[in-house]
């Protein structure tokens, strides 16, 4: 993946012989277009939402793009269906707003060929560009029966729905919960906090009684989705197809930011990414609590940190005291897209349906909480019987699945990328989050404008 980016860059940055060649390298991407005779018509695919005209159904190889985590799903399908000719390609899954898929699709649109049939993306905002680009096929207009679609958790497919038409299927839910180490909690006689006030108080207690231990982490690009989303901060309220309301300095935002500032200052909230070598080395075995998405359990505690079994437990996300409508955040939870250009819609749809609903994968193998309700039941039962977790994780996860605050939308601009570029460097330099909120706001507004959004700020 990285190699492909750099291949373009290497030429652009090249050390060739002539200035002209060097400069021209920057338009290498265009050279490919020239070679293929594109006509300069941007957004080559037909963007018609309702008049979906399938490509000629000539069959052939089913090309599937997945990230490394979802590779197991595609491979299992191939094993169970050896008669299907599959070409499984791994890519970065568009993680952290890399835009790899969008880049490729816009090139495929120009060269009028090469689209994958089914794609997994770790992002929930792909429809914002993929529908106008004519890349995704409508799924609820005859391709997948309504009875199947009814099986998804309530609201799970909202990020995939544009004007009533479904353009992708949700892979997993990533509702946030409070992960904590039950063994340490008992040993130190702490109560699991149910309100943010208690959470902050406990953080301050830990800072003095057990310095070095963490009650949270804010070093990842999805930190705002864990804390500020759960805190109903309206940084990203998509109000229409091309309209967004951005207000990062509201009371809800500053309240949560102040809490984070307090705990960042006393070092009970770390600013290292949970995926960094730094965190793995210095912090992974010192986690008392860690607010985060459903997939933290399998992907982080069990997979990366190798926390011993019988310690990690789940509690509901804390709420502000007095708040009667509990809310949680959401971190990703990927989507599956079906190409409108597929030459074998039948085979592609069969795979898409299997990969999102089958118990064999979603229920038994998937690392995250399946968005398909029946698979989620199997998944939760499997987690319970694995004996890895301390206590019941099903109840808090199921409850949180219905509490994701709906005011945080999925725009075309990557919230994660904006946070990373504007807020993270400031936090690393020791600035307070509260002081960075206005800069965060203006960056969101700028990016939204450049993607053609109408922006309102109140």
- Applying CB under 8 A, the residues found at the interface with other proteins are 2-3, 5-10, 12-15, 17-31, 33-34, 39-43, 96-99, 102-103, 106-107, 129, 133, 219-221, 271-273, 276-278, 281, 416-417, 420-421, 424-425, 428-429, 446, 449-451
Q: How far is the CB of 141 from other proteins (least distance, A)?
A: 25
DSSP 404: B
253: tokens are 């935002």
Q: Rounded to the nearest whole angstrom, what is the least distance from the CB of residue 144 to other proteins in the complex? A: 28
Q: What's the closest the beta carbon of residue 398 comes to other proteins, in angstroms?
A: 30
**211 alpha carbon, distance to own chain's centre:** 32
- Residue 381's DSSP bridge partners are none
Q: How far is the CB of 431 from other proteins (least distance, A)?
A: 11
Q: Specify the residue, 164 or 452, whose C-beta has the smaller distance to other proteins.
A: 452
Task: Quote the CA–CA distance of 241 and 25 in Å, as a whole number.
Answer: 36
Report the alpha-carbon angle 326-299-283, nearest 5.
Answer: 85
Give the shortest CB-346-to-other proteins separation in angstroms. 31
Class of residue 165 by CB neighbours under 10 A (exposed 0-12, middle 13-18, buried 19+): middle
Question: Measured on CA atoms in the order 419, 421, 427, 432, is the torsion positive or negative?
Answer: negative
Least Cβ distance, residue 18 to other proteins (angstroms): 7
Is the CB of 117 or the CB of 220 nearer to other proteins? Answer: 220
Give, for 292, the enclosing helix (H) or strand (E): strand 289-293
Q: Which is nearer to other proteins, 106 or 362 (CB)?
A: 106
Nearer to other proteins, 45 or 396 (CB): 45
Shortest gap between Cβ of 355 and other proteins (angstroms)?
A: 27
Rg (alpha carbons) of the chain, rounded to whole number: 23
Residue 106 CA: distances (Å) to CA of 6, 93, 120, 134, 400: 18, 16, 17, 10, 37
Nearer to other proteins, 21 or 89 (CB): 21
Among 375, 358, 371, 345, CA closest to 142: 345
Q: Which is nearer to other proteins, 10 or 395 (CB)?
A: 10
**CB of 33 or CB of 192, closer to other proteins:** 33
């Amino acid at each position: 993946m990285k190699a492909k980016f750099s291949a373009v860059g290497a030429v652009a940055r090249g050390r060739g012989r002539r200035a002209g060649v060097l400069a021209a390298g920057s338009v290498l991407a265009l050279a490919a277009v020239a070679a293929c005779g594109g006509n300069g018509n941007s957004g080559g695919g037909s963007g018609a939402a309702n008049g979906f005209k399938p490509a000629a159904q000539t069959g052939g190889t089913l090309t599937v793009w997945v990230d490394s985590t979802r590779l197991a799903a595609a491979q299992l399908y191939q094993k169970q269906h050896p008669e299907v000719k599959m070409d499984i390609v791994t890519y970065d899954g568009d993680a952290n707003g890399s835009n790899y898929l969008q880049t490729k699709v816009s090139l495929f649109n120009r060269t009028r060929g090469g689209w994958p049939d089914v794609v997994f993306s770790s992002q929930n905002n792909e429809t914002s560009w993929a529908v106008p680009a004519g890349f995704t096929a409508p799924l609820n207009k005859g391709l997948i029966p309504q009875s199947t679609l009814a099986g998804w958790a309530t609201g799970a497919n909202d990020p995939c729905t544009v004007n009533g038409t479904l353009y992708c299927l949700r892979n997993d839910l990533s509702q946030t919960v409070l992960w904590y180490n039950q063994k340490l909690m008992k040993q130190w006689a702490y109560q699991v906090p149910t309100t943010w006030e208690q959470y902050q108080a406990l953080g301050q207690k830990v800072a003095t009684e057990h310095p070095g231990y963490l009650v949270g982490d804010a070093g990842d690009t999805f930190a705002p989705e864990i804390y500020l989303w759960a805190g109903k901060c309206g940084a990203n309220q998509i109000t229409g197809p091309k309209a967004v309301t951005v207000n990062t300095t509201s009371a809800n935002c500053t309240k949560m930011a102040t809490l984070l500032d307090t705990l960042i200052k006393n070092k009970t909230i770390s600013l290292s990414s949970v995926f960094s070598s730094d965190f793995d080395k210095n912090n992974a075995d010192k986690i008392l609590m860690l607010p985060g998405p459903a997939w933290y359990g399998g992907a982080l505690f069990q997979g990366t940190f190798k926390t011993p079994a019988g310690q990690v437990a789940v509690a509901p996300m804390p709420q502000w005291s007095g708040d009667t409508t509990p809310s949680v955040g959401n971190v990703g939870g990927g989507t599956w897209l079906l190409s409108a250009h597929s030459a074998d819609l039948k085979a592609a749809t069969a795979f898409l349906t299997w990969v999102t609903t089958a118990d064999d994968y979603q229920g038994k193998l998937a690392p995250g909480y399946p968005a398909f309700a029946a698979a989620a039941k199997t998944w939760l039962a499997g987690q319970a019987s694995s004996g890895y977790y301390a206590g019941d994780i099903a109840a808090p996860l199921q409850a949180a699945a219905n509490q994701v605050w709906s005011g945080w939308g999925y725009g075309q601009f990557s919230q994660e990328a904006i946070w990373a570029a504007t807020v993270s460097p400031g936090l690393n330099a020791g600035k307070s989050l509260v002081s960075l909120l206005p800069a965060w706001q203006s960056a969101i507004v700028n990016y939204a404008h450049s993607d053609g959004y109408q922006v309102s700020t109140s």
